[in-house]
Structure formats: structure tokens, C-alpha cells
Amino acid sequence: MTPDAPSDGGSGLHGAPTVAARGLSKAYAGVKAVDNVDVDILPGEIHGLVGENGAGKSTLIKMIAGVVQPDSGTIEIDGERVGLPDAGAAEHQGIRVLHQEFALVPRLSVAENVLLGHRMPPRGPFVSPGLARAAAREILAPFAPDIDVREKLSELAPAQRWLVAIARACSGEARLVVLDEPTASLGEQEVRVLFAAVRRLAENGVAVLFVSHRLAEVVELADRTTVMRNGNVIGTYEQSKLTQQRMVELIVGDDRHVLEVAPVAPPQEEIALEVRNLTAGPLRDVSFTIRKGEILGIGGLVGAGRTELLLSLYGALRRDSGDILLGGRPVHFRAPANAVAHGVALLPEERRLQALFLRRSIRENLVISFLQRFRLVRGLPIPGRRSELRATQSAISSLSIRTRGPSQRVAELSGGNQQKVVVGRWLLSDLNVLLCDEPTRGVDVGAKAEAMMEIANLAARGTAILFVSSDLEEVAHLSHRVLVLREGRVAADLPGPVSVGEILAHCYREAA
Amino acid sequence: MSVEPATAAELETPTWRRGLSKSLDVVERFGPLLFLVGIVVVFALKKPDTFPTWDNTLLVLSTAALPGIVSFGLTMTLILGEFDLSIGFVFALGGVMATNWMAEIGVIPSLLLGIGTGLAFGLINGSIVAYVGVSAFIGTLGTGAIAQGIVNWITGGSAKAGFPSGFVRISSDDTFGIPNEVLIMFGVMALLWLLLSRTEVGRRIDAIGGNREAARLAGIRISRYILLVFAISGMCAAFAGLLAASELDSAYANAGDTYLLDAFTACFIGAAVFKPGEFSIPGTLVGVLINATLFNGLAQIGVESYWQFIIKGLILVLAVAASGVLMKRRTR
């Protein structure tokens, strides 16, 4: 037990919890995403849920929403044990989960959206628009009486859309409403409007689970807050006894478990890549330099623009303005092909969707970017199977890819070995810059250490590495320097060694 | 003590069931091929005097030749993950463009004009899909309508006939006792098959068809290859149309009407054979031969021609369903 004395589950003034999770566990490919978790959410309570990216919040929500089935553990609703085999069952139990991209249809009117999935009020054999509007107004009244139900949803401001979504969710018998990052795209004024609606919801006895990275908002809104870390619940705390500072400490944890990685060689003097005032997608005015052999960690929360930074450096995301200098020369990558030709490579976030040809062999996956290096005869664009096989064999042994052989389909490999195939692809060329997006995601502990080893080795050979990972411990441990992004801007450029707490502090600091 | 997974599975599965699953595997891999052999045997038994002869075999191959060329072109677009609905109309346009000014400009320039028209339409189709981002469905349907309009404009609705004998001989002559068009079909097939299986271009087309986003992020210039496959598809269609005009000594507006359906049928039958769930040139050949054999055999046993349409449609639906199911099983 922590010294903060977590409040004890269901003994509050509200009686039986609306939703009680008991011993929930879920593992993906052997990695525990949620491990033996207990949570009570009481009727009429606003319950905060916080934790780093990958702490297990999403998986927990998905299990409560019936979208993901737990490996073990039970869920009780109003004291009764229930099975939630699918989203429909959870819906039937009065559980409503609202995501940032909720299930509303922008092209339809507000009234049509509110009544989506309901029986439209009929007049004779036809739907009556008048009656429908009246019904929609009635549902909207407690939350947003001043929204015109005839307006198209796409015309509404983001906060108003949330109100419509909340009203719609509460139109049936809602017991628990889960709000997943509802304020991510809202301004200060809009946040007020949303909060008022959430409080009204709680006053009506509905339990609210409020998931947010903006800790100040959690402090302000929540009655109690559950902190998660590494798939575990660290504790559930009365919000009145929990400061924002303490919350950050709990989220980060203090038991630093050290990863075994060879000492990272210091970077060289020569600058490999310089970015000046880059604006692209969500990125605003991003500037930094990275030297040869340097590992630059990119910190930031979901939506801070980390992936977009890598994609725009790779020519996969259109750049609005700004300059990119590679080895001192300005470059304009209009497609990833240009980047590859300049020795810039990407390990994308979703390797199965963005990097691999699952029905093809390891050999075919490995050589696809550099076919011209394995020609049968010099100068003729005819692939030489033998030299491809030789290169594949050597990649398999040097990266210790566990496989039956070079002809095995990539679909049959484990996540870690699939990642090694993608790494092996880029090792076929001379890399100037390697952009790594979540290189260790979905990879087991042993393979994780191997992947980090490989990154460190590459850096030692002079490749500049940009390294994005939601596991901030990894970022802190491996990076020479850390660049923290917040809402598309550089929030901090921290020289190493950097601690996780330092990175988080810059991730979470509210915009002034 | 360790138990090998295979052993464990064998213990759980009764022998007859494993036998069944193995034979299902054979059906899965070679289903359309077995079907082709089956119909050949049935027709041969029904019409032993006229069906299983050398002359009739050449006749079947001749019937398969032009649909084959169109289908091989279409296969290229399908492997890349696109498709081309303009082929029937480009076919007709190819025939008309190649023949309309033949008396004035001569045979060779006319041939180039016909094939060039197909190339132009292919490049337009490819650009629309690759650069404008219009779906191939609407894009190629639209350009197909344009091609048809141009055909009607040029021909004024009437057929053109009476071409120089040099032109007519391209399709209708034999070389070494085999009709030229059959040789040409096998030539086109060999070229495209080599392109796909033995060159870097083929590997990239295959990669794009397998996972377009991964191919793009691996540094492949997607648009280039989209352009290429549509160009090949357009040229194949126009070239086949030109050969049809040569064979019939006549070019007319509706010449390509049946080719669209035939080509799609052949390609989807082909996707259910060899590497189930994947389009391939050899697979398409099987599809084309099934079409031609059915046409020939059904006519010989006296089935009305409207039945042939019904049967063709049924086979297309079955082949699409089968390759869809196989695709799902394979990607799991």
C-alpha cells in the first residue's frame, strides 16, 4: 500500500459500485497490458483515470466496453457479475464509451445524429421530421438547449459535438459514461462547457470515468482518481488528497528498473540533420539539429505530433514550410523514395500495416527497397535470387531472427522477429538517419533489449537516430538528448542524461 | 517431455478428417484446373468425333487468343490492386483507330496508331487513379464511355471492312500450322509473365498489390507503377481489338462488348488456382481456357447461346466468391 492511503473501494456514501472490475488481466502476444486490476466506479462519481501511454488505460476501458475480452477476472455492474461478450452487451448494460472520434455522422443533422440507432418517431408509414426534431431537442435539453437540431453536425464546434455525443449516450439508460480524452481538441472556454455537462451527468447519478492526460483538469473535475502504471493499478485516491505533483510521481513510479544495454558511444561532432521551422500537419515551427551517431529521443503525449515529425522528415507527410538540411545540404523529399535514396529510413509505428508484405517471404520483404543491389547481372533490372538469399541468410544470423529459413512467410514470425526483418531491410544500405517510431511496441522483453542494442550499435557506426517511444523509460535510458513535443511545438530540448520525470514534466506542463 | 505440435494435432484429428482436409487442399490449389480437365473429358466423351481433335484444339485456342490478350493486360492491374473497366471500349477503339485511315497512311503506321491509342487511354486511366486520386471504378468507367463515344463518332455507327490483305493476314494466317493469333497470345503472355516474375518492376508491382502503404514507405514510387499497369492494360486491349479487326476483316463499334466480362471472369478464375487468392498470369490462362472450352463444347453439344451467358455469369460469381474465401483463409 502506498503512503497516500488509497480509499477503500465500495465503502463510499454511494453504496454498491456502478461498475466493479475484479482481477482483470489481459495480455497481447505474451505481454501483459493489464495485470490483475481492481477498480470500483461509484454511482454519481466522476472518476479520473491517469497513466502514461501504454500504462493499460485503453485496454482497461476496452474490457469494460466489451470490445476486448479479459484473459481473467470479472466485471460487476450494480453488484451483479455480468459477462460482456461484445460492445452490444455493454451498451445494453448502460455502459457508454465516448472517444475522440465518436460514432457520429458529420454529414447528418444534429437531430439525425441524436436519434441514430433509435426508432425515428413515425407519422403513419413515414418518418416525421418535425417529431424527430422535437424528440432530439428533448434529449439535448439537459446538456445543450441552445444547439439548433437542424444544423449539420459538421458545422458544430468540437465542444458542441461532445455535448451532442454525451446527450445521445445518456438518452437511454446510461449507468457509466466513459470519456476518453474529451478535452484534447478543446479550447479553455469549451472545456468549461464540457465540464458543466459532465457535472450535471454525475448529479443525475451516472458514473463518469474521465480519462485524460491533462492532469490539471483531472484535479479539478474528479472526485477520485485511479493511477495506472505498467498495466497495474497503483491506487485509487480521493482527489482532495492528491496534488498534481504527487500524481506525476505516482504515474512515473520510483522503482527504476535498469535495462541492460551496452553503453552508448558519444555522438560525433558533424551534424547529420538540421530541421528549421518545420510546419507540417500538426507540427508548428519545429527546429532542432542532430549529429552523426546521436540518438535523439522524442518525448510527448499522444497527439503531440511525434509520428508526424518522423513522417514529414521521411517525405511521407507534406511539409507546409520550413527547411530540412541533410549533411548541410537542403533536401526536399516529395516521397519516401527520395528519403530512401538519401539514406533516410523509417521504422513505422504499425509494422504489419506499414512495413511488411505478410504473404511474402523474409527474403522478399528484406530486399524490396534495394532490389538494384542484388541484380543477376550488373546493369540489368533482373533480381538475382542467390545474392538475395545470401543477404537474407546473413541478416537472419546477424540479427538472430528466429525462423525456419529465408523462405518463411513474414506473417508466421513473432512481432519481435518481424521488426528485425524491417530493421534488416534498412541495414542493407548505408544509413544517414534512422527514424524509429515505437520500435519496441508489441515486442517481448528479450527482443526489446535486442532492438535497443541494435539501435545503439547503429549509432556507434555514425547513423543519426530519431527515436519515438511511449515507453519513456526507454527514451530516457537510450537517448543522448531528448526533444519534447507538446501540441505540435518543441516544448523542450533536453541534453542528456535525462530522467523520465523531467520528460514527463515537460509533456504535461499546461500551455501558458 | 515435449510434445511436438504436429503430433498433438494429429492425435486430436481422426484420420478420415485429415484425409479430407488434404484433398480439400488439392481442390483449393488446383480447383479450376481440375474443372478445366473435367469439362474437357465430359465434352470429349459426348462428342468423341469432333471435340478431342487437333483442329478443334486449335479452334479453342483461337477463340481464347484475343480474350487472353485482354485478360493478361487486366491481370496486371489486378495484381497491383486496381482494375480497368475501360478495356472493352478501348478494344473497339483500337480496332477502329487502326483501320479507319489505313488506306491513307499505310498498314504499319495504322498499327502504331491503334496501339498508341490504347497506350494513351492507359496513361489517362493511370494518371486519373495515381495523381487525381479518383477510384479506378469511376475513372475507367468514364474513360471507357469516352472511348465508346469516339468509336461511334469515327464509324458513324457502321462497320468498316475491306482492309489490305497484309493487315488481314496478321490474324488469319498460320505459322508452322498454328494460327498467328494463338502465337501472339502466348507471346504476350510470356512477356508479361517474365516482367512480373523475373524483373524488379514485377517485384515492385507485386509489393504494391500486397500492401500499398508498406510499399510506399519502403521507398517504391507507387504512381509510376500504377501508370505502367494501366498503360499495359490499355495497350493489350487496343492490340487485341486491332487483331479482331484483322481477323474479321471488319471494325465496328460493338466489337468489344463481351470482352470486359470475359476478361474479369478469366482473371478471377485464375485467382482461385495455383496461389489461391492471388491473381497471376498462368492462373488467368487457365481462366481463359475454361471460357473458350465451355464456349466451344457447349456449342458442339447444342446448348443455346443464351445459356452460355448464364453459365459464364455463374462461373464468374463462383470464382469471385471462391477467391474471396481463399484470400481470407490465407491472410489469417
Q: Which residues, 6+ apart, have CB-to-CB distance to A302 below 8 Å?
A: A53, A181, A213, A470
C-alpha cell at B258: 463481351
Contact A48, A224 (CB under 8 A): yes
The average pLDDT across A37-58 equals 87
- CB-closest option in A316, A357, A372 to B211: A357
> What span, in angstroms and rounded, lies between the C-alpha atoms of A452 and A367?
23
C-alpha cell at B141: 468507367
pLDDT confidence band for B23 (50 / 70 / 90): low
Q: Locate cell 537472419: which residue?
A: A396
pLDDT digits (tens, 9 = 90+) for B177-190: 889 899 999 999 99
Kindly state whether A368 is in contact with chain B, defined as any CB-CB distance less than 8 angstroms: yes
pLDDT value, residue A115: 83
CA angle, residues B129, A352, B330, in degrees to nearest 5: 85
Kindly state whether A364 is in contact with chain B, defined as any CB-CB distance less than 8 angstroms: yes
C-alpha cell at B320: 469471385
Beta-carbon-side half-sphere exposure of residue B276 (alpha carbons within 13 Å)? 22
- Among B204, B211, B217, pick the best mutation site for testing chain A contact (most A Cβ within 10 A): B217
> Which amino acid is it at A432?
N
Which residue of chain A is at minimal alpha-carbon distance from B201?
A381
Backbone angles phi, psi at A317, to 5 degrees: -130, 130
- Among A353, A371, A421, A434, pick the best mutation site for testing chain B contact (most B Cβ within 10 A): A371
How many residues are there in chain A?
512
Q: Locate cell 508479361: which residue?
A: B192
What residue spans define the domains of chain B? 62-253
Contact B79, B58 (CB under 8 A): no
Shortest CA distance to A51 belongs to which of A59, A42, A43, A63?
Answer: A59
Q: Which residues, 6+ apart, have CB-to-CB distance to B280 below 8 Å?
A: B75, B79, B196, B270, B271, B274
Rounded to a whole number of angstroms, the distance from the CA of B63 to the nearest CA of chain A is 34
Contact A323, A277 (CB under 8 A): yes
> What span, in angstroms and rounded, lies between the C-alpha atoms of A69 and A86?
8
Rounded to a whole number of angstroms, the distance from the CA of B223 to the nearest CA of chain A is 11
CA angle, residues A253, A254, A259, in degrees to nearest 5: 95
Q: How far is CA A490 from the centre of its chain?
A: 19
pLDDT value, residue B239: 95
Kindly state whether A354 is in contact with chain B, defined as any CB-CB distance less than 8 angstroms: yes
Checking if the pLDDT of B8 tops 50, the result is no
> What span, in angstroms and rounded, lies between the C-alpha atoms of B237 and B291?
18
Q: Which residues, 6+ apart, have CB-to-CB distance to B205 below 8 Å?
A: B76, B79, B80, B196, B225, B228, B229
Q: Which of 252-281 (B) contact A at CB < 8 A? A: 278
Q: Which residues of A touch B210 (CB under 8 A)?
A: 357-360
Per DSSP, A85 falls in state: -
How many residues are there in chain B?
332
Per DSSP, A201 falls in state: H
Rounded to a whole number of angstroms, the distance from the CA of B204 to the nearest CA of chain A is 7
Shortest CA distance to B97 belongs to which of B162, B141, B150?
Answer: B150
Give the pairing of strands A295-299 and A481-486.
Answer: parallel
Q: Locate cell 418535425: which residue?
A: A130
R_g of chain B, CA atoms, integer Å: 22
CA dihedral A14, A18, A22, A26 (to 10 degrees): -140
Measure Cα distances from A244 to A44, A170, A182, A214, A215 in Å.
23, 30, 19, 10, 6
What is the number of CB-based contacts under 8 A between chain A and chain B?
71
> What span, in angstroms and rounded, lies between the C-alpha atoms of A494 and A270?
19
DSSP track, A97-116: EE-SS-S--TTSBHHHHHTT
> What span, in angstroms and rounded, lies between the C-alpha atoms of B175 and A326?
60
Kindly state whether B212 is in contact with chain A, defined as any CB-CB distance less than 8 angstroms: no
E strand segments, A162-263: 176-180, 207-211, 224-229, 232-238
Average pLDDT, chain A: 83
pLDDT digits (tens, 9 = 90+) for A199-216: 988 888 889 999 887 788
Rounded to a whole number of angstroms, the distance from the CA of A386 to the nearest CA of chain B is 13
pLDDT value, residue A1: 37
Which residue of chain A is at minimal alpha-carbon distance from B213?
A354
pLDDT value, residue B28: 65
pLDDT confidence band for A87 (50 / 70 / 90): confident
Helix axes B222-248, B107-127, angle to 10 degrees: 140
> What span, in angstroms and rounded, lies between the C-alpha atoms of B136 and B260?
15
pLDDT confidence band for B326 (50 / 70 / 90): low
Q: How far is CA A80 from the centre of its chain?
A: 33
Rounded to a whole number of angstroms, the distance from the CA of B220 to the nearest CA of chain A is 6
The average pLDDT across A220-228 equals 92
> What span, in angstroms and rounded, lies between the C-alpha atoms of A470 and A434?
18
Q: Which residues, 6+ apart, have CB-to-CB distance to B4 below 8 Å?
A: none
Which residue of chain A is at minimal alpha-carbon distance from B208?
A357
pLDDT value, residue B1: 35
pLDDT value, residue A446: 63
Q: Which residues, 6+ apart, have CB-to-CB distance to A19 below 8 Å?
A: A39, A40, A41, A64, A75, A76, A77, A95, A175, A176, A207
Per DSSP, A279 falls in state: E
Instruction: Say what percent of chain B tops pLDDT 70.
Output: 89
- CB-closest option in A357, A359, A368 to B330: A359
Q: What is the ipTM of this complex?
A: 0.81
> What span, in angstroms and rounded, lies between the C-alpha atoms of A501 and A472?
9
> Greater confidence, B36 or B237?
B237
pLDDT value, residue A161: 81
The average pLDDT across A170-191 equals 78
